Structure 1
Amino acid sequence: MTAADVQDSSMDMMMDNLPQTVDPTTLTSRIIQSDSIQREDRTNDSDNDADDMQMDGVDQPTFQKLSAHAARGGKAEYRRIRCPAHRYTPLRENWEQLLTPLVEYLKLQVRFNTRTRSVEMKTSRHTLDTSSLQKGADFIGAFMVGFEPQDAVALLRLDDLYIESFKVTDVKILRGDHLSRAIGRVAGQDGKTRFAIENATRTRIVVADSRIHLLGSYGNIRLARNAICDLILGAPPGKVYNNMRNVAKRMNERY
């Protein structure tokens, strides 16, 4: 018998030992482990099952959510937002609209200090959320830079809204009439350019002298900022309108 015949006979014996057909109803794992690993895994599984059985018979403790007042150890937190001179009259006229969400929704104590001309907020034992004070400060801060209360209140309801501020001179160094013309290009005739950018990017824009404030989500602020920077750098408004039209079309398709 030759070596080839011996090899053929051994292969035939191995093939005989293998199953001729695979049962599709039988699921087998493709992970092959040594005996020692399998014994160790079985031991760990039995220990975990025993721990689970012991924990099932014990009542699990339930803890109530800590209020903002209790989380600080009973100490109150304060915030003070100074009111600019040009926002004093709008603050007085819209005081009730600003006070309602702060007191009823965030459960904060609010007052206006006439001596320092600033809005002061404080947490109390009724304040539930630890982030209420920061949300309230952002809400009042948005109103102080020029946003309407209806727009600023979105900061209390949505967590993915931000405010970004920059100056026209941060984009390009301009002085005198050149600066005035750049601001005029951003605003447009009767605010048409600003409204077009707001509607296309779903943001809110405030042009306060040479400062520009944007309110919206991160991606939308980026789109609006790029359009405003193009206007400051001297791009024709018609080209910006065309870009905003394309942006609005893409956003409508996305949402």
Structure 2
Amino acid sequence: MKVLVIGFPKTGTKSLHAALKKLGYKVYDYEHNFYYLRKQWIKILTREGGTKEDFYEMYKDVDTSMDMPACVFWKEILEAFPDTKLIFNERKTEDEWWASWDRTAENINNNKLMTAMAFLSPTAFSIFQYTHHVGRVTLGAPPQRFCTSFRGISPTVAKMRYRTHNAKIREFRETASKDQFLTFHPSEGWGPLCEFLGKPVPDEDFPYKNKGGSVLDDLLKDSPIFHQMKYEMGVLLAILVILVAVLLFRWLY
């Protein structure tokens, strides 16, 4: 683990993901933590719990991680990788953060394709199950229907969790070295980020992602994991159509 992004989602993390990837880092975002590490994370988020050794095994071959639940367990990951660099990002106010978070969560829950995939894709079904654990631990989410995520969260609880998370990070920042800790917002561009990481500045504009809460559309378009969900749904639908056709043929003839 070389870099850990410790700000909550909806604080510029998708832009930072794209920037770090451009700089050559292997990045684990939300969907990668789910797809590759969900068994380990479910162990950590439930009764059994996790250890420093678990976090080390999870991330020893990963350059960067971000988003929930990794950002919430930044201290535990830091214990496993004491030399990792930390990047902290936040919104101007907690109300602004909550409005952005709630809008994105509702976009996901109201997306008909995601609902269909929950029924027809084993991978999509699993990501909803995984997200139920993440939502409960990170934001106090109530029990969810199997095809919904982060629905019914109290804004008071969510903002308290966000506020407490950021306060603990600011407290840590007081004793952290400048070589290890960077407070960053994508609006600052390549300069501070590349200087902190010791990387040359790319000859292109800084990537700005998830404008207007487009994260789900971007994932459905670009993520190999979400492409797999759509593929699984297509295969199952094709099997169902063939099965219905065979049964109809037998009934008619």
Structure possessing the higher radius of gyration over alpha carbons: 1
Same fold (TM over 0.5): no
Higher normalized contact order (CA 8 Å, seq sep 6+, divided by chain length)? 2
Greater fraction of residues in strand: 1
Question: Taking structure 2 as the reference length, what is the TM-score of the superposition?
Answer: 0.19
TM-score, structure 1 normalization: 0.19
